[in-house]
Amino acid sequence: MDVKLINPFINATINVLETMAFMTVNAGQPYVKKDNIAIGDVSGILGLTGVANGTIAVTFEEKCILAVVSNMFGETMSELNNEIADAVGELTNMISGQARRELEEMGKVFKAAIPSVVTGKNHSIMHFTNGPKIAIPFNTDNGDFTIEVCFER
């Protein structure tokens, strides 16, 4: 997979979390993910079409997403609920939108579907393309999250 397709998602993830949740996030080393088990407890998944078909997923550990949404809403969130799920969907949308703008500047145009959100320990993330699943781990002072990007070969 072309790294030029991955970097915009890393940049967008950092920017969205720093801007919307006032959190410092650090990207780890990308790697090829071999299974479909989510690394986190709640995931936003969004399909992309355009110069290539693919999906992105943003999966948060419970501790991390509670801190993110608490910062976004200005009130303490203490459990996974519908508000948290809605926020994960919206964060996934924002990350996708910023990444797609950066990709469009490179001449690569994508359209996005409506994100779906899945919660629960050890849930699955299905990428409906045959390309490699590139996972990028991120850490914050309040826990970790991972983005997964998968484009067809």
> For all residues of the chain together, what is the average pLDDT?
94
Q: What is the CATH number of the domain that holds 99?
A: 3.40.1550.10
Distance CA(55)–CA(52), nearest Å, equals: 10
**pLDDT the model gives residue 2:** 65
Distance CA(73)–CA(102), nearest Å, equals: 27
Q: How confident is the model at residue 1 (pLDDT cuts 50, 70, 90)?
A: low
Count structural domains, the chain: 1
Percentage of residues in the chain having pLDDT higher than 70: 98
Task: Determine the structural domain holding residue 49 and report its residue range.
Answer: 3-29+37-151
Q: How confident is the model at residue 4 (pLDDT cuts 50, 70, 90)?
A: confident
Residue 115 has pLDDT above 90, yes or no: yes
- pTM here? 0.94
Provide the token pair at 141. 């002072």
Provide the token pair at 7. 């970097």
pLDDT tens-place string over residues 26-81 = 999 999 999 999 999 999 999 999 998 999 999 999 999 999 999 999 999 999 99
